[in-house]
Amino acid sequence: MTLQLSNVELEHEGPIAIAVVSGEVDMSNAASVREQISGSVSTNDEALVVDLTSLAFIDSAGLHVLFDLAAALSERRQHLRLIVPPGSQVARAVEIVGLPRAISVDPDRETALSSVLALGSESRPVPPGGENP
Amino acid sequence: MTARTRGTIDPLERLRRIQVVSDAVLAHLSVDELLDHLLVRVREILETDTAAVLLLDAARNELVARAAKGIEEEVERGVRIPVGKGFAGRIAAERRPVVLERVDHHTVLNPILFQKGIRSMLGVPLLAHGEVLGVMHVGTLTPREFTHDEIELLQVVADRVALALEARLSERTRVVIEAFQRTFLPEALPFVPGLRITTRYLPAVSSVGVGGDWYDTFSLPSGDIVLVIGDVAGHGLPAASLMGKMRNALRAQALSGGSPGEIVARCDEFHRHFGDGELVTLLVGMLDRDLTTLRFVAAGHSPPLVVGPHDARFAGGRDANPPLGLAQPPMFHESVVDLEPGTSILLYTDGLIERRDEPLEAGLERLRSTADAVLRERDATLAMNELLSSLLADAAPIDDVAVMLVHRNAKPDPVLEFAVEARARSLAPIRRALFRWLDDVAVPRAVAMEIVTAISEASANAVEHAYGPSGGNITITASLDDGAVSIRVRDAGRWRGSSKGARGKGLGLMRGLMDDVEVDTTDRGTTVTMSRRTT
């Protein structure tokens, strides 16, 4: 539904789940966005990358969801990384609440994926057939 | 009454008494009071034991007992008599007086009448303008021959009752349809900074005219604004009911997305599937959230009138598209109008331009020249008043009139103030309204985004903490002075709950984004005042 405030699309890059969130996230839809994102991660995934490149707006309820997700994933030894384009509304909000102190933030998908894979090579083997550079 | 012996009252005297009754006393009575009153008098004057009125239920072609004197039980049991059957049914079918000199189960259908010992009956039809509204009858417990004078007398009374009934019933129908119609007009018009929407609905003066016009306007989640005006063929309750269906179908289709052409095509499909071949004319416009372009489809509907800074002209042709409800699905062609600041767009139904004695083109030209003269540079409400009084002054509308005037302000409002319901779903519209206004007053986009974020947070605080389940409003005021934007977010609730978690971050966000944030909580509500330099 293009008319909803937000949209979450799910992708996989080898062992990495990617949730692409677009539109706007505020207190009216934060809980459902959280459900959609966490539903995208299986126990086999090494990491979750939340791509906020196309997200036009986030408020504190949305930021709270990100903190919450990081905590839940870390209990299961899964990594969370965010893609936040510099200069965006999301970047400004993320910076003000000090989110980068708790969650790794990358400017684009390439950086995010290579960072996860670099981490993964220390802790878990990269499965054969991974398509990442 | 002094004389109880039949035949001692002069027939003229009887008639005079009935006239007195029916003219003066009855003018302000309801249908039931009127019938009660008249039946008492009829029974007295004709010296009968019973008197009753049955009204026609046209949909089922049955007579329904409505009022009775002498044998009230009949009414309580809601007796129904098919037209053409029995005594009352015969009167309605034959539209003439019927006399029964012997009552038994062969001559009457209603068992109460002979169970109660009624021996003779006289009945007459209630006729108004050739239409049967019902039947009035009287009965006696002793055998009786009704004289020609008595039959005529009852018919005179019945004629008067019928006229009074017709006036009351048609007035009641008109009131019902009008009330029904109004429930389908939007409760509140969307608030869009920079845009002023003014609407009017004038029901037709006569009861037959009321019916199928409507207008509608609402914002979509995308921020686009939908403008609708339509007219269902026919009048009365069937037209009003179809209008209600079309209005809801259109809302649903608009919410499912797509261009005006796609929305109208889906409504046409809906109408061809569920409708009965009635023609519906419709104009559906979509105004983009930046208010620069109106994209519309006029399906058999008169074109919108665009009153720009320099001229007034119709956009698109009248016959650009056929109405809805044709056998074959047509293609619906869209037209586009650029909406410069200071432009008004007028949507209307034909009741505004139609006159009995002239071609439609003359009505369109009268509308164009009048709008050109009165719609510029003045308050929208006053402009609308003047437009309607100029166009409808010398002729009361024979049909309903629905009008919507959409004006894009020439200059941004120096102060923005609006109130919304304190609900989470109000937050996105708040952001859109503010973003639009900040853009209008030329605040740079990056700064505007930060201001909007802070206001969204302050509003979310009010949504979460200000009110209990009964809810309330949030009022937002924004102004630009000396290169700084000042904002106030007010609620009238009592602060409930803590400000931990997300809301704690919210205050942090507000302080991080704005130059100054003050929160003032009293037992009459909370006001958050914030300011931010624009450079």
Q: What does the pLDDT read at residue B262? A: 95
Q: Does residue A132 lie within any of the structural domains?
A: no
Which domain does A84 fall in, by range? 6-123
A97 and B457 in contact by Cβ < 8 A? no
Q: What does the pLDDT read at residue A39? A: 86
Q: What does the pLDDT read at residue A61? A: 94
For tokens 């009131």, name the residue.
B175
Q: What does the pLDDT read at residue B247? A: 94
Q: What does the pLDDT read at residue B20? A: 58
The residues, any chain, with a CB within 8 Å of residue B169's CB and separated by 6 or more, are: B31, B133
Most A-contacting residue of B505, B507, B511, B514 (CB-CB within 10 A), to test interface: B505
Window 504-533 of B, Cβ < 8 Å to A: 505-506, 508-509, 512-513
Domain spans in chain B, listed from the N-terminal domain onward? 11-177, 184-408, 415-533
The answer to whether B502 contacts chain A (CB < 8 Å) is yes
| Cα–Cα distance list, A74 to A8, A80, B99, B207, B409 (Å) | 22, 8, 96, 71, 53
Q: Does residue A21 lie within any of the structural domains?
A: yes
Residue A18 near residue A35, CB atoms below 8 Å: no
Q: How far is A89 from chain B (nearest CA, A)?
A: 7
Q: How far is B219 from chain A (nearest CA, A)?
A: 11
- Closest to A69 measured CA to CA, from A81, A57, A60: A81
Q: How far is B457 from chain A (nearest CA, A)?
A: 7
Most B-contacting residue of A5, A95, A96 (CB-CB within 10 A), to test interface: A96
Q: What is the full DSSP assignment across B436-489?
A: HHHHHTT--HHHHHHHHHHHHHHHHHHHHHT--TT--EEEEEEEEETTEEEEEE
Three-state secondary structure call for residue A64: helix
Q: What does the pLDDT read at residue A130? A: 43
Q: Does residue A133 lie within any of the structural domains?
A: no
Question: Given pLDDT bands bounded at 50, 70 and 90, which one contains residue A5?
Answer: confident
Residues forming a β-bridge with B295:
B286, B336
Within 10 angstroms of residue B437's Cβ, the number of other Cβ atoms is 25
Three-state secondary structure call for residue B315: coil
Q: How far is A31 from chain B (nearest CA, A)?
A: 12
Residue A66 near residue B483, CB atoms below 8 Å: no
Size of interface A-B (CB pairs under 8 A): 75
B457 and A96 in contact by Cβ < 8 A? no
What the block records as the tokens of B321 is: 């598209």
Q: What is the mean pLDDT of chain B?
A: 85
**ipTM exceeding 0.90?**
no
Q: Does residue A108 lie within any of the structural domains?
A: yes
Full-model pTM? 0.67
CATH number at residue A83: 3.30.750.24
Q: What does the pLDDT read at residue B394? A: 65
Q: Does residue A52 lie within any of the structural domains?
A: yes
Cα angle A10-A16-A22, degrees, rounded to a multiple of 5: 30
Residues of A with CB under 8 A from a CB of B: 1-5, 24, 26-28, 30, 57, 59-61, 63-64, 87, 89, 92-93, 96-97
Tell me the C-alpha distance between B34 and B413, whole Å. 58
Crossing angle of helices A60-75 and B501-513, in 10° steps, is 130
* DSSP designation for B411: S
Tell me the C-alpha distance between A30 and A38, whole Å. 12
Three-state secondary structure call for residue B164: helix
A3 and B424 in contact by Cβ < 8 A? no
Helices within B143-229 (DSSP H only)? 148-183
Q: What does the pLDDT read at residue B180? A: 78
Q: What does the pLDDT read at residue B497? A: 66
Q: What does the pLDDT read at residue B33? A: 82
Q: What does the pLDDT read at residue A90? A: 96
Q: What is the mean pLDDT of chain A?
A: 86
B428 and A28 in contact by Cβ < 8 A? yes
Topology of domain B184-408, per CATH?
Phosphatase 2c; domain 1 (3.60.40)
What parts of chain B have a pLDDT lower than 50?
1-5
What the block records as the tokens of B189 is: 């018009």
Cα angle B418-B531-B341, degrees, rounded to a multiple of 5: 50
Domains identified in chain A, total number: 1
Q: What does the pLDDT read at residue B106? A: 75
Q: What does the pLDDT read at residue A86? A: 94
The residues, any chain, with a CB within 8 Å of residue B66's CB and separated by 6 or more, are: B32, B35, B53, B54, B55, B75, B134
Q: What is the mean pLDDT of the segment spanning A110-117? A: 88
B460 and A5 in contact by Cβ < 8 A? no
Most A-contacting residue of B225, B256, B427, B432 (CB-CB within 10 A), to test interface: B427
B509 and A93 in contact by Cβ < 8 A? yes
User: Sign of the C-alpha dihedral, residues B182, B185, B191, B193?
Assistant: negative
Topology of domain B415-533, per CATH?
Heat Shock Protein 90 (3.30.565)
Q: Does residue A37 lie within any of the structural domains?
A: yes
What one-letter code names the amino acid at B427? L
The answer to whether B382 contacts chain A (CB < 8 Å) is no
The answer to whether B331 contacts chain A (CB < 8 Å) is no
Residue of B nearest to A66 (CA): B502
Q: Does residue A130 lie within any of the structural domains?
A: no
User: How far is residue A51 CA from its own chain's centroid?
Assistant: 5
Pick from B222, B424, B506: CB nearest A60: B506
Q: How far is A28 from chain B (nearest CA, A)?
A: 5
Window 451-480 of B, Cβ < 8 Å to A: 452-453, 456-457, 460, 463-464
The pLDDT tens digits for B448-470 are 999 999 999 999 999 988 888 88
Helices within A29-127 (DSSP H only)? 30-38, 60-75, 89-96, 109-123
Residue of B nearest to A64 (CA): B502
Q: What is the mean pLDDT of the segment spanning A35-41? A: 89
Give A-chain residues touching B425 at CB under 8 angstroms: 28
Topology of domain B11-177, per CATH?
Beta-Lactamase (3.30.450)
For tokens 């853009």, name the residue.
B439
Pick from A28, A60, A89: CB nearest B425: A28
